[in-house]
């Protein structure tokens, strides 16, 4: 049985962690399937957005440490980074979603601990229930978040809050997570809300949405001058090379619904 499933409806990819009997605890096989799924979706130019959630009572309870530790040799291999990517398996299972050129929305309920929290952080937006449970749980075991969580936490909540959550391993609910900026929106049904938001995004030019994701993600570590240069390049491509820009402009002028082409390269 697959540990990660994908269903595509109207251009929206519904991705699910599918190990509900273990609260979607992560194994090396789960991480491998997450990477493969993200790469497949990255190549599909018809995809408009991704909603990632967990089957069963939780989003993800973190790494399945007892199961993973049964094969130390595989763990050592999983720690070795690919030189062309700069990430190892643990990191790429999260960062691969940052590489997907469409909006990714994590819909969180139940537990969102450790590696699960880092997967949620790799999404562009996080919708959660008020009673969902969030924790940088690694601190409980005397380790640190190493699945790109240090970078993502700092980007999302700021340095002081990132340090606090990592050092204390405290558990917070979805309401508090939203107050801290960890959660984008709180909903009774985050999957329904995330899907509705994805459908709204699908009414915009897929090329402009992809450009916005690239620009904002790159701006975090770029100088102002480099960001300005990237803005100019992206805008010229949208204005001169992308058919979807013209399709949207024509639809706006004629007050009709745009019929977009697949996203450009």
Which residue carries 């390269």 as its tokens? 265
Scored b (16 or more CB within 10 A) or e, 205-234 reads: bbbbbbbebebeeeeeeeeeeebeebeeeb
* Per-residue pLDDT reduced to its tens digit, 54-80: 999 999 999 998 877 777 888 899 999
The terminus-to-terminus CA distance of the chain in angstroms comes to: 33
Binned at pLDDT 50, 70 and 90, residue 265 comes out as confident
What percent of the chain shows pLDDT beyond 90? 92
Q: pTM (2 decimals)?
A: 0.94
Overall residue count recorded for the chain in this entry: 265
Distance CA 121, CA 109 (A): 14
**pLDDT of the residue at 74:** 87
* Per-residue pLDDT reduced to its tens digit, 176-214: 999 999 999 999 999 999 999 999 999 999 999 999 999
Distance CA 165, CA 170 (A): 6
The phi, psi pair for 157, rounded to 5°, reads: -115, -5
Give kind and range of the element (H or E) at residue 253.
Answer: helix 243-254
* Per-residue pLDDT reduced to its tens digit, 15-43: 999 999 999 999 999 999 999 999 999 99
Burial class of 241 by CB neighbour count within 10 A (0 to 12, 13 to 18, 19+): exposed
Angle between helices 206-219 and 224-240 (to 10 degrees): 170
Helices H, strands E: what count in the chain? 12, 9
* Per-residue pLDDT reduced to its tens digit, 111-150: 999 999 999 999 999 999 999 999 999 999 999 999 999 9
Distance CA 91, CA 78 (A): 9
């Amino acid at each position: 049985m697959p540990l990660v499933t994908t269903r595509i409806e109207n251009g929206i990819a519904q991705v699910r962690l599918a190990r509900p009997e273990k609260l979607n605890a992560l194994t090396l096989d789960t991480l491998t399937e997450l990477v493969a799924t993200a790469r497949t979706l990255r190549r599909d130019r018809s995809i408009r957005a991704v909603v990632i959630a967990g089957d069963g009572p939780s989003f993800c309870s973190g790494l399945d440490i007892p199961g993973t530790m049964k094969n130390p040799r595989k763990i050592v291999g999983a720690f070795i980074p690919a030189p062309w990517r700069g990430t190892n398996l643990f990191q790429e299972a999260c960062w691969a979603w940052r590489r997907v050129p469409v909006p990714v929305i994590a819909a969180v309920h139940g537990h969102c601990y450790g590696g699960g929290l880092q997967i949620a952080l790799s999404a562009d937006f996080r919708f959660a229930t008020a009673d969902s449970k969030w924790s940088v749980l690694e601190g409980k075991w005397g380790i640190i978040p190493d699945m790109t969580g240090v970078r993502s936490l700092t980007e999302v909540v700021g340095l002081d809050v990132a340090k606090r959550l990592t050092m204390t391993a405290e558990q917070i609910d979805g309401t508090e997570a939203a107050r801290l900026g960890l959660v984008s929106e709180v909903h009774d049904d985050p999957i329904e809300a995330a899907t509705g938001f994805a459908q709204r995004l699908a009414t915009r030019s897929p090329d402009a949405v992809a450009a916005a994701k690239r620009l904002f993600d790159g701006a975090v570590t770029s100088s102002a001058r480099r960001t300005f240069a990237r803005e100019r390049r992206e805008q010229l491509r949208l204005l001169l090379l992308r058919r979807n820009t013209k399709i949207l402009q024509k639809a706006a002028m004629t007050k009709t619904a745009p019929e977009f082409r697949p996203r450009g390269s």
